């Protein structure tokens, strides 16, 4: 089995300490790792020294504040429309399944698993997206054909991520700004657990259950076995045009159940006003708000990813929404 790593702060140490989470106790790692890249390199390349640095006296997990276990100097590669039910609710056709939608998200959006999510002042369509994040343990700096059997040579860790999205900024801003709509500060709650994988863990990669609730109501629930474009294929595709570095993250897409959706009014708002940015945003926003209520200040999101037997558990996120 792998190791559940967390980064936490107490009243005495606000800068963050690395530790191993076991049950309700955190065992501090007595090292000076600057970020998760250094920690992962030590775990996979200097395992004996790493294990010897784990302390014997636990800290109560209920007495600390969890930070993101992924630092803000990474590249965040994201997949879109990678679950069939999310494709359907977005209005994408089954014929488009062959196209693997890949985009980027700013690392400055990363925040802690319990941090407040700030709704931008010009945003009315704030939405959630629970996703499984894969963290690389080695560089991929040339075109590489990776098979499923070889995935463990490149992926070192799993992490729970919320790809928070401002739909009106994505589809209403000039020329459809996905990067802008997904990269606002606090738009990527991450953690609490960075699960360092052993080879045997990859057998359960497609048995992870994702669950998101909004104010206690289940909104998203799926299993990673439903992914359309698997990680090995996606990493191979990305390596064909870009360098990936150890520590970088691949967000594998969200299942159905997001607040935004497609109907005739939504589609026409985009198509008929494609080159009229202000009008398109106004009509798109109005059509979406007529469908459903979006995230508002005071709302609470709770997220989890785990196997049904609990062998792999990426922890829980709890985020409240507030205006920026």
- Measured CA distances, 47 to 1, 33, 153, 246, 298 (Å): 14, 14, 16, 17, 44
178-208 pLDDT, tens digit per residue, is 899 999 999 999 999 999 999 999 999 999 9
pLDDT number for residue 175: 56
pLDDT band for 259, please (50, 70, 90 cuts): very high
Report whether pLDDT(219) > 90: yes
**Domain identity same for 35 and 116:** no
**Domain identity same for 63 and 87:** no
**Domain identity same for 58 and 84:** no
pLDDT band for 252, please (50, 70, 90 cuts): very high
pLDDT band for 265, please (50, 70, 90 cuts): confident
288-308 pLDDT, tens digit per residue, is 999 999 999 999 999 999 999
**Domain identity same for 48 and 162:** no
Contact indicator for 147, 232 with CB cutoff of 8 Å: yes
pLDDT band for 283, please (50, 70, 90 cuts): confident
Report whether pLDDT(47) > 70: yes
Tokens for 21?
A: 């989470």
Q: Looking at 67, 87, 111, which one is the last position of a domain?
A: 67
**Domain identity same for 18 and 112:** no
Q: Which of 317, 282, 323, 324 is nearest to 128 (CA)?
A: 317
**Domain identity same for 102 and 198:** yes
pLDDT band for 278, please (50, 70, 90 cuts): confident
**Domain identity same for 189 and 93:** yes
**Domain identity same for 97 and 28:** no
**Domain identity same for 181 and 319:** yes
State the pTM of this model: 0.95
For residues 274 and 59, the model is more confident at 59
**Domain identity same for 29 and 150:** no
**Domain identity same for 245 and 172:** yes
**Within 10 A of 52 (CB to CB), how many other CB atoms are there?**
9
- If one counts the domains in the chain, the total is 2
pLDDT number for residue 9: 96
Q: Looking at 34, 67, 100, which one is the last position of a domain?
A: 67
Report whether pLDDT(173) > 70: no
For residues 273 and 227, the model is more confident at 227
**Domain identity same for 220 and 284:** yes
Domain that holds residue 55: 3-67
* CATH number of the CATH domain containing 135: 3.90.850.10
Beta bridge partners, 132, equal 160
Q: Looking at 45, 67, 89, which one is the last position of a domain?
A: 67
91-126 pLDDT, tens digit per residue, is 776 666 678 999 999 999 999 999 999 999 999 999
CA 160, chain centre distance (Å): 6
Backbone angles phi, psi at 222, to 5 degrees: -160, 175
């Amino acid at each position: 089995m792998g190791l559940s790593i967390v980064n936490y702060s107490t009243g005495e140490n606000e800068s963050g300490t690395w530790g191993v989470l076991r049950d309700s106790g955190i065992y501090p790692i007595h090292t000076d790792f600057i970020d998760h890249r250094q920690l992962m390199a030590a775990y996979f390349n200097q395992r004996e020294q790493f294990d010897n640095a784990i302390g014997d006296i636990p800290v109560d997990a209920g007495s600390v504040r969890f930070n993101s276990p992924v630092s803000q100097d990474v590249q965040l590669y994201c997949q879109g429309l990678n679950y069939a039910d999310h494709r359907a609710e977005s209005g994408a056709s089954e014929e488009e399944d062959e196209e693997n939608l890949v985009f980027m998200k700013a690392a400055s959006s990363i925040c802690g698993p319990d941090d407040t999510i700030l709704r931008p002042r010009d945003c009315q369509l704030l939405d959630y997206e629970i996703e499984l994040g894969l963290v690389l343990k080695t560089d991929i700096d040339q075109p590489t054909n990776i098979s499923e059997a070889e995935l463990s040579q490149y992926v070192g860790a799993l992490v729970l991520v919320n790809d928070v999205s401002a739909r009106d900024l994505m589809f209403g801003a000039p020329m459809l700004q996905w990067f802008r709509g997904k990269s606002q500060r606090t738009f990527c709650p991450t953690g609490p657990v960075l699960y360092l994988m052993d080879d045997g863990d990859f057998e359960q990669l497609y048995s992870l259950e994702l669950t998101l609730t909004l104010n206690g109501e289940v909104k998203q629930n799926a299993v990673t076995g439903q992914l359309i474009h698997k990680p090995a294929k996606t990493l191979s595709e990305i390596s064909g045009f870009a360098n990936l570095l150890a520590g970088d993250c691949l967000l594998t897409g969200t299942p159905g159940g997001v607040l935004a959706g497609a109907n005739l009014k939504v589609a026409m708002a985009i198509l008929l006003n494609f080159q009229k940015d202000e009008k398109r945003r106004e009509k798109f926003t109005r059509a979406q708000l007529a469908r459903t209520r979006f995230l508002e200040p005071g709302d609470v999101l709770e997220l989890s990813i785990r196997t049904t037997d609990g062998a792999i558990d990426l922890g829980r996120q709890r985020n409240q929404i507030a205006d920026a």
